[in-house]
Amino acid sequence: MIAFPVLILGARSDIGRALARAYAARGATVILAGRGDLTDDCSDLMLRTGGNASTVAFDVTDGAPDAFFQSLGTVPGTIVLVAGLLGDQAKSAADDAAAALVMETNYTGAARYLLAGARVMQGTANACIIGISSVAGDRGRGSNYIYGSAKAGLTAFLSGLRNAHAKTGLHVMTVKPGFVRTQMTAGMKLAPPLTASPEQVADAILRAHEKHRDVLYVLGRWRLVMTIIAAIPESIFKKLSL
């Protein structure tokens, strides 16, 4: 059972928008949280689904998660953390500020908001926290180790949060989408068999939410791919261009 309202942190992203539509179509009251003006997104969502939606300003890097949840005026039944930043590996490796932004967006800021969310959701029936991590966090690779390390931190955090709340009734799910056709990946060469659409991601998350899954690889073949990559000995792995 899905608990309402559904709070989507990072609602202006392609996946965030797809999730909002998918949850609203199931009858959920949706709170769209993101940077900038979300009025058009909210109006479009209500027009498409006939559901109830509202908006709230949100920035995962603002450092005030407790104040954010206090300002909502309601306790979310479900939180979906979508906010993320791929960044540019070369720029992040050369510039501390760029690296810090990637790390804070994908891990420290995200984790702090989910910690604050868990605090306010105590005792909420069927409460669920869903964090969108990445297969990039399954093993550090030279091509994206700053982004990947931040997502690895988020994956470990979600696992620990899930374990800590195993007996409290708060469920925590980790999502690893793999490649997704979004604005963030525009211009990148993506392998079609390993690439999902935002709508596929949203549908998979809803199904997994209803089934009380702990970890979701949106495309199951990614689990095999990352198992193989994780098994490569370090002496060989460091010689590969991955």
Q: What tens-digit pLDDT sequence spans the chain (242 residues)?
A: 899 999 999 999 999 999 999 999 999 999 999 999 999 999 999 998 888 999 999 999 999 999 999 999 999 999 999 999 999 999 999 999 999 999 999 999 999 999 999 999 999 999 999 999 999 999 999 999 999 999 999 999 999 999 999 999 999 999 999 999 887 777 778 888 999 999 999 999 999 999 999 999 999 999 999 999 999 999 999 999 88
Among 23, 107, 147, 217, the one annotated catalytic: 147
Residue 83 in domain: yes
Q: Which domain holds residue 43?
A: 6-237
- What six digits make up the tokens of 27? 């009858």
Residue 10 in domain: yes
Residue 38 in domain: yes
Torsion of CA 9, 13, 15, 16, to 10 degrees: 30
CATH code, 83: 3.40.50.720
Burial of 203 (0-12, 13-18, 19+ CB in 10 A): middle
Residue 1 in domain: no
Residue 242 in domain: no
Give the HSE-up count for residue 205: Cα atoms under 13 Å, Cβ half-sphere: 35
Number of structural domains the chain divides into: 1
Is 217 annotated as catalytic? no
Residue 159 in domain: yes
Distance separating alpha carbons of residues 195 and 159, to the nearest angstrom: 25
